[in-house]
Structure 1
Amino acid sequence: MSDKSATAQLLLQARKPGKALTALPKSALPADKAQAYAAQAELVSLLSIHSGRPVGYKVGCTNATARQMLALDSPFSGRCFEKELSASPATIDAGTLHMIGIEPEIAVRIGKDLAPSKNWQRADVIDHIEAVMPSVEVVESRFSSWPLMGFLSAIADNGVHRHLVLGNPVENWSADSIEQTAVTLTANGITVREGVASNVDGGPFGVVAWLANHLNAMGTTLAAGEIVTTGVMTDIYDSAPGETIVAHYDLPAVVELQVKPL
């Protein structure tokens, strides 16, 4: 059994510039998903000291390509923090990051608790959603060996989440319109990625249902007021310092992120 406190401390220190890990030592490597999420919970407590309270969740590996990259059989979750949440347009300092992974996504704000009273399905969760927003997640692994360090290390590393940028809430949305949403991602005005919301498993609302069931199984409830960003609509884009990233959604909406140069 790994020492979840030791794992969390190692991952916390690895967030510092120049301190990325190649791999966790055997004594700190989670043996299974339960141990990985236990280490993540310890890390979340440590991160909350400087990043503020958890305000929601990211869901990763919500498509087959991403799962294949990490040899994973299901999505995973991580926590989002108050001080790592920005409104578009936003700026992030490249000098504080080991990698700058850009993921255009759809985020939702939960309006009513999704309690463990049922097996949640896509159709069930729609009435529990208060708002839908375009989003860009910045993902960052604290491992220089990404993605070879494997999914257990990725889960323990708070699901490789770093920052979330939210656009304005979508007005007069419907489930069908959101699930058919397309996005074009540009870097310094050049198209680098394209995708659609239906690329994620079951669409964004199917991802919310998965998260609700996942949390219920761990004794937690997806609660009113929490934000969920539901997984990348495109392939991940590896950004570089000095780039202006814009996700153009046909909602219509835009989410903009400036990556400060080193």
Structure 2
Amino acid sequence: MSQAHDRARALHEARRTRKPVPPFTDADPALGEAEGYETQAELLELLLADGDEVIGYKVGLTSAPARKLLGIDSPDHGPLLASAVYRDGDTLPLDRFIAPKIEAEIALRLGSPLKGPGVTVEQAREAVSEVRAGVEIVDSRIEDWRIRIADTVSDLASTGAIAVSDTAVPLEGFEPRLVGMVLSRNGEVVDTGVGAAALGDPVAVLAWLANSLAGSGRGLEPGQLVLTGALHTPIALEAGDVFTAEFDRLGSLTLRVAETV
């Protein structure tokens, strides 16, 4: 078995037991993005063998402060799984996660294929069929969120769950980079953001993703969903919380939090 496979099995078990593992980069500080994506591919194979399905991708580290924190100069990405999708108004069970945090994001759905290399922002725009309000629940199977880039990439870019609004808006006629967002917890505003926080433009995030996937011969397919990155600092979840993310043009999205469901 390869070291990437061994790391993937450890993460797979951590998902099952909700017991995090030490950072892989503690044992091998030389691990980088390339090794992270090798482990991610192995982990995804295990999850697909369990019966899960890829419905799209999340892009992380799209803000400059987040990249600076990990000492890198580009975002990362990971697959979105069908088993981890919630809807507006749903309740999130904390007992499904290890150390979850919420991020409000702009979600783009593909209407036509998009494959790099060389995808431009305009080409990415033409491939989008709709835009929705979204949130991602990030979670880490790495102890205490002590992640470097290889750790988070290995762990499906630290994704835990997602939700998108029921309202879908055509991209034509407005700029996602100008979309404002207000995040409230239990009726109190806890943070705000704007679409431009995601690599300057959520559509640019989509172009980056298509070009990045091309390196492994993959592309984006019609119907797939892409979460384009946090518009604010992630906020930890606690039982009893009710979070509402309100977006210009896109409407709102509410999730409740409970110990179990």
- TM normalised by structure 1 equals 0.92
Q: Is the 8 A contact 1:7 1:29 kept in 2?
A: no
2:153 matched to which residue of 1?
155
1:131 matched to which residue of 2?
130
2:33 matched to which residue of 1?
33
1:256 correspondence with 2:254: yes
For 1:48-197, list aligned pairs within 5 A: 48-50=48-50, 52-116=52-116, 118-146=117-145, 148-174=146-172, 176-197=174-195
SS in 1 for 2:22: coil
Q: Is the 8 A contact 1:184 1:194 kept in 2?
A: yes
Q: Is the 8 A contact 1:21 1:142 kept in 2?
A: yes
1:142-190 Cα offsets, whole Å, 9 max, x none, are 12231x3311010000000011101024334436342211111111111
SS in 2 for 1:142: coil
Segments of structure 2 that go 5 or more residues without pairing to the other structure are none
2:21 matched to which residue of 1?
21
How many Å apart are 1:111 and its aligned residue?
1.1
Q: Is the 8 A contact 1:122 1:202 kept in 2?
A: no
Q: Is the 8 A contact 2:104 2:135 kept in 1?
A: yes
Aligned letter for 2:103? E
Task: State the number of aligned residues.
Answer: 260
Q: Aligned in 2, Cα 1:236/1:129: closer, same or farther, shift over 3 Å?
A: same
1:69-107 Cα offsets, whole Å, 9 max, x none, are 222221000110112112212221102211121110011
Partner Cα separation in structure 2 for residue 64 and residue 93 of structure 1: 31
SS in 1 for 2:231: coil
How many Å apart are 1:234 and its aligned residue?
1.2
Partner Cα separation in structure 2 for residue 252 and residue 133 of structure 1: 6
1:42 matched to which residue of 2?
42
Q: Is the 8 A contact 2:103 2:231 kept in 1?
A: yes
Q: Is the 8 A contact 2:195 2:231 kept in 1?
A: yes
How many Å apart are 1:131 and its aligned residue?
1.2
1:44-69 Cα offsets, whole Å, 9 max, x none, are 12123446211100000001111122
SS in 2 for 1:14: helix
- TM normalised by structure 2 equals 0.92
Partner Cα separation in structure 1 for residue 178 and residue 124 of structure 2: 18
Segments of structure 1 that go 5 or more residues without pairing to the other structure are none
How many Å apart are 1:29 and its aligned residue?
7.6
How many Å apart are 1:33 and its aligned residue?
1.7
Partner Cα separation in structure 1 for residue 256 and residue 67 of structure 2: 28
Aligned letter for 2:191? R
Q: Is the 8 A contact 1:15 1:142 kept in 2?
A: yes
Range 167-176 or range 72-81, more displaced: 167-176
Q: What's the RMSD between the two structures over aligned residues?
A: 2.1
Partner Cα separation in structure 2 for residue 252 and residue 125 of structure 1: 19
